[in-house]
Amino acid sequence: MAPQAGTLVLEEVSKTFPQRDGGGEVRAVDRVSLSIGVGEFVTLLGPSGCGKTTTLRLISGFEFPSSGRILLDGKDISNRPPNKRDMAMVFQSYALFPHMTVANNVAYGLRVRHVGQQELKQRVAHVLDLMGLAGLAERRPHEMSGGQQQRVALARSLVVEPRVLLFDEPLSNLDAKLRVQMRSEIRNIQRRLNITSVYVTHDQVEAMALSDRIVVMNDGHIEQMGTPEEIYRRPVSRFVADFIGRANFVEGTIHDVSGERATVSLLGQTVTVSAGFQPHPGDTVTVVLRPESLVLRSDPGLEQVRVEQMMYLGSSVEYLLARGDQRLIAVDTDPRSDRLFREGDLAGLTFEPETVHILPARA
């Protein structure tokens, strides 16, 4: 069966650039393979220099691969220019024409495609209504807020009815409240239109809130891809665990292995967990404990830690804990006053066993 409209595949895609000093090449993207289904929202996530933006530029046609292929609905588009790819990009800077009205900015892509005047008006009116911009059609960009300008940029991309919609950190210029509002609007519209979308950001919360799948990139390659829950709960490496949210890393020792399950001791307790690798009895492993999985109790029989800092945040309390020379973070999401710990207190430390995740010691 032929692929449906909007299926995007990267096959072993690499991109190299010459070094500035002329002394060789830099591999910005390293053999990236990825398959994105129709209507799927996939986010490329990682720190600066990880290759996520270059990968997006390769998909869009602003860069061409040094090797590998990019397929759209089964057809090789690796060397097609951007205007021949049936994609649209929403830019970080909005890239609106300052002298044009909202309606003319939105209509620009249709005019370039020589869409008839009657159809053009209908499609522009429809997308402005979809984006809540119907009453602002005659305004110019400088007369609008940042959030409104971002809606215009999104409307301009949607009106051409692309098979794939690309986002290059589109919310980074907005304040925190507007970012939350706009990411909700983007997700709702994307789901309603069922349009294949590739989104680039370095913001982990943004990626978690928007994505069907997250692709975590590091040094030009894919470190891990999966649903937000898979990435957060079962990171494949210390890099992923540390980059997605916050994590405590504690040393543990393997006592027994049975099939895919391993018994590990940590913080004075022993638990049995699923292992995504093959450990052996006696191995030292790295245990990933998210801050919300640590629990403080007034119990001298537990591993003792000292509260170095307590931050009351209303809906939660965050503790910085000292365990010898190690520092740990714990978050209590039900901060009742009768069980709060104060700075300088000694507390017993335990954890939710089902949240324990182990990695090889050098992962």
Mean pLDDT score across all residues of the chain: 92
In a domain, 18, yes or no: yes
Q: Assess whether 181 and 90 both reside in one domain.
A: yes
In a domain, 2, yes or no: no
pLDDT in tens, 224-239: 999 999 999 999 999 9
> Do 63 and 179 share a structural domain?
yes
37 and 178 co-located in one domain: yes
pLDDT of residue 363: 65
pLDDT at residue 93, as a whole number: 81
Query: Taking 80 as the threshold, does the pLDDT of residue 171 lie above it?
Result: yes
pLDDT of residue 1: 33
pTM higher than the cut 0.85: yes
**pLDDT at residue 2 in the model:** 40
214: domain range? 8-239
Q: Is the pLDDT of residue 317 over 50?
A: yes
Model pLDDT for residues 120-150, shown as the tens digit of each residue: 999 999 999 988 888 899 999 999 888 889 8
- How far apart, in whole angstroms, are the C-alpha atoms of residue 323 and residue 33? 42
Structure tokens at 325: 């020379």
Q: Specify whether 235 is located in the same domain as 334.
A: no
Residues 79-92 have a mean pLDDT of 92
In a domain, residue 31? The reply is yes
What amino acid is encoded at 313 in this protein? Answer: L
Q: How many domains does the chain have?
A: 2
Domain final residue pick, 239, 256, 290: 239
DSSP 177-228: HHHHHHHHHHHHHHHHHT-EEEEEES-HHHHHHH-SEEEEEETTEEEEEE-H
Q: Kindly state whether residue 205 falls inside one of the protein's structural domains.
A: yes
pLDDT for 174 equals: 83
**Average pLDDT for residues 15-41, to the nearest whole number?**
91
Mean pLDDT of 298-307: 94
**Cα–Cα distance list, 84 to 40, 79, 89 (Å):** 22, 10, 13
Q: Is the pLDDT of residue 276 over 90?
A: no
Using the predicted structure, report yes or no on whether residue 3 has a pLDDT greater than 70: no
The residue-averaged pLDDT of 180-190 equals 90
Same structural domain, 124 and 215: yes
Residues 159 and 270 in one domain: no
Does a structural domain hold residue 3? no
